């Protein structure tokens, strides 16, 4: 019973991740890491801690890191981007209503 449940969970998880791979959900590419420039020591310590935890508990922390990355993309796409768009629309409508139109 438990083995069958795990097989179904693995199938659903694989199908879900496959759908996310071909979707328009935005994920961080880590090309520009401003954290290293702003706080290199602290960021380096966090990276060392993360690697240490992955080495100590590889299955658990690899899963948690990958799940966190997947969740961050979903949160960025469905929470942060719409919030930024609403804020930009408010600023645009406030600027248009102030009478500062070029002639």
Q: What band does 32 get if pLDDT is binned at 50, 70 and 90?
A: low
Q: Give residue limits of the domains in the chain.
A: 58-94
Query: Is a pLDDT exceeding 80 seen at residue 69?
Result: yes
Q: What band does 31 get if pLDDT is binned at 50, 70 and 90?
A: low
What's the pLDDT score for residue 44?
A: 84
Cα 24-30-32 angle, rounded to 5 deg? 115
* CA dihedral of residues 46, 51, 53, 57 (deg, nearest 10): 160
What's the pLDDT score for residue 97?
A: 60
Higher pLDDT, 31 or 20: 20
How confident is the model over 80-90, as a mean pLDDT?
A: 88
| Residues 16, 59: Cα–Cα separation, whole Å | 20
Across the chain, mean pLDDT equals 83
- Going by C-alpha positions, the residue among 11, 29, 24, 20 that lies closest to residue 70 is 20
């Amino acid at each position: 019973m438990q083995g069958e449940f795990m097989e179904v969970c693995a199938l659903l998880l694989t199908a879900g991740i496959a759908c996310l791979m071909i979707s328009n959900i935005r994920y961080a590419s880590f090309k520009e890491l401003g954290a290293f420039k702003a706080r290199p020591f602290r960021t380096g310590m966090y990276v060392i801690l993360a690697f240490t935890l992955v080495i100590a508990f590889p299955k658990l922390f690899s899963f948690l890191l990958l799940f966190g990355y997947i969740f961050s993309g979903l949160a960025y796409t469905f929470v942060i981007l719409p919030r930024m768009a609403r804020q930009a629309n408010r600023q645009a409508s406030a600027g248009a209503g102030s009478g500062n139109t070029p002639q």
